[in-house]
Structure 1
Amino acid sequence: MLETRLDLDRIHAARRLIDPIFQNTPMYQCEALGRELGCTVSIKLETANPVRSFKARGTELVASLLAEHGRTAAVCASAGNLGQALGWSGRRRGLDVTVVASRRAPVAKLDRIRALGAELELVDGDIETARERAANIARSRGIRLVEDSLDVETCEGAATIGLELVDEKSAYDAVLIALGGGAMATGVGYVLKTLLPAVELVCVQPSGAPAMTRSWHERRVVTTESTDTIADGVAGRYPIPEVLDDLLAVADDAVLVQESSIIAGIRLLLRHTGLIVEPSAALGIAAVLEDRERFAGRHIVTVICGSNVDLDAYHRWVYQ
Structure 2
Amino acid sequence: MLTLDKIYQASYVLKKVIRPTDVIAAPAVNPDSEVYLKTENLQVTGSFKVRGAYFKISQLTDEEKACGVIACSAGNHAQGVALAAKECGIKSLICIPDGAPISKVEATKSYGAEVMLVKGVYDDAYNKAIEVQKEKNMTFIHPYDDVDVIAGQGTIGLELLQQIPDLDAVIVPIGGGGLISGVAYAVKALNPNIKVYGVQASGAPSMYNSILQHEQITLDSVHTIADGIAVKHPGDITYEICQKYVDEIVTVTDDEISTAILMLIEKHKMIAEGAGAVAVAAALFNKVDIKGKKVACLVSGGNIDVTILSRVISRGLMKEGRSADVTIELMDKPGQLQDVSTIIAKLGANVVSVRHDRSDENMDINSCFLRLRMETRDHKHVEEIRKALTQAGYKLVEKVR
TM-score, reference length from structure 2: 0.74
Q: Distance in 2 between matches of 1:261 and 1:18?
A: 34
CA distance in 2, matches of 1:107, 1:67: 34
What CA distance in whole angstroms lies between the structure 2 residues aligned with 1:180 and 1:305?
11
Corresponding residue of 1:178: 173
Cα distance 1:292–1:16, how it changes in 2: closer, same or farther (>3 A)? closer
Match of 2:90 in 1: 95
Find the residue that maps to 1:318 and give its secondary structure. Answer: helix
1:1-320 pair list within 5 angstroms? 5-35=1-31, 38-66=32-60, 68-69=62-63, 71-72=65-66, 73-291=68-286, 294-319=289-314
User: How far is the alpha carbon of 1:22 from its aligned partner?
Assistant: 1.6
Answer whether contact 2:146 2:237 (CA < 8 A) is retained: no
Amino acid in the other structure paired with 1:54: F
Runs of 4+ in 1 over 4 A off after TM superposition: 67-70
Unaligned runs of 5+ in 2: 316-401
AA matched with 1:16:
Y
CA deviation digits over 1:194-243, x for unaligned, max 9? 11111111110101111121112212111011111111111111222222
SS in 2 for 1:226: coil
The superposition leaves residues 16-69 of structure 1 with CA deviations (integer Å, 9 ceiling, x where unpaired) of 21144524210121223343xx32110111122331111111111122123645
Deviates further, 209-218 or 66-75: 66-75
269-278 or 17-26, which moves further after superposition?
A: 17-26
State the alpha-carbon separation in 2 of the partners of residues 124 and 204 from structure 1: 31
* 1:295 Cα offset (Å): 2.5
Q: Cα RMSD (Å) of the superposition?
A: 1.8
Alpha-carbon distance, 1:114 to partner: 1.3
Q: Distance in 1 between matches of 2:119 and 2:219?
A: 18
CA gap 1:21/1:242 in 2 versus in 1, 3 angstroms:
closer
Please give the alpha-carbon distance, in whole angstroms, between the structure 2 residues aligned to 1:315 and 1:208: 21
1:178–1:283 contact (8 Å) kept in structure 2: yes
Residues 237 and 107 from structure 1, CA distance in 2 versus in 1: closer, same or farther, beyond 3 angstroms?
same
- Shift in Å at residue 128 of structure 1? 3.0
Give the structure, 1 or 2, with the largest relative contact order (CA under 8 Å, sep 6 or more): 1
**Cα 1:48/1:296, change in 2 over 3 Å:** same
The amino acid of 1:109's aligned partner reads K
| Preserved contact between residue 70 and residue 129 of structure 2 (Cα < 8 Å) | yes
- C-alpha spacing 1:246/1:125, structure 2 compared with 1 (3 Å): farther
> What is the deviation of 1:287?
1.3
- Normalising by structure 1, what TM-score? 0.92
Aligned-pair identity (%): 28
Bigger Rg, which one: 2
Partner Cα separation in structure 2 for residue 105 and residue 40 of structure 1: 38
When residues 70 and 215 of structure 1 are mapped into structure 2, their CA distance, relative to the original with a 3 A threshold, is closer
Shift of 1:137: 1.1
Q: Deviations over 1:143-183 (max 9, x none)?
A: 11111222211100000001111212452221110001111
8 Å contact from structure 1 (residues 106, 309) kept in 2: no
Instruction: State the secondary structure of the residue aligned to 2:289.
Output: helix
Change (3 A) 1:185 1:169: closer
For 1:232, the aligned partner's letter is: D
Match of 2:381 in 1: none
Tell me the CA shift for residue 319 of structure 1.
4.0
Q: Which moved more, 1:150-159 or 1:167-176?
A: 167-176
Q: 1:163 touches 1:191 (CA, 8 Å); kept in 2?
A: yes
In the aligned structure 1, how far is the partner of 2:242 from the partner of 2:230? 17
